[in-house]
Amino acid sequence: MELDSVDRKILIALQGDLGDSPEPYACMARELDVSEDEVIRRIKSMLDQGIIRRLGAMIRHIEAGIGFNGMVVWKVEPERVEEVGNLLASFPEVTHCYERPPFGDKGFTLFTMVHAASEEGCLETIKSMSEQTGITDYEILFSERELKKVSMTYFDEEDLI
């Protein structure tokens, strides 16, 4: 697919914040001087063609009142990684769940980010995760402050226009 200038501007807009409007594509359409339906049609087309792989929201959890988060590192035997990873990822408080090569002296292999409104809530969720998986060898690394949280920028206006 050959991208025209409107497609390129849509891609640039999708890399940044869409704002808190209940109709973000309508706002984008007004800026591009096209209809909201046209913006949505073009996004769907770029998704179908693999130009855009996925769209996802990045929640600013601290601003939303979810002020505590912890990276939990789990030691999981290789034959259970898939099973345990799927179970950990199913918790609504978990936003990220990754398998990584064994890390540290204990050989932690699964990493999860757990979010809650309080430290106690975070600890309760982690305890429940441990109980449901039977994994008791884990460590929690609580965040102290957020230094950077931005969407990825794959190209800028000069690259696309």
User: Are both 5-58 and 68-142 of the same fold?
Assistant: no
pLDDT band at 161 (very low <50, low <70, confident <90, very high): low
Indicate the pTM of the whole model.
Answer: 0.63
The answer to whether 138 and 73 are in contact (CB under 8 A) is yes
Is CATH 1.10.10.2890 correct for 5-58? yes
> What pLDDT does residue 159 have?
59
Enumerate the H helices of 16-156 as residue ranges. 24-32, 36-48, 81-89, 119-133
Q: Where are the domains of the chain?
A: 5-58, 68-142
What is the chain's mean pLDDT, rounded?
87
The answer to whether 142 and 119 are in contact (CB under 8 A) is yes
149 or 26, higher pLDDT = 26
CATH topology of domain 68-142: Alpha-Beta Plaits (3.30.70)
**pLDDT tens sequence across 102-153:** 988 999 999 999 999 889 999 999 999 999 999 999 999 988 777 766 666 6
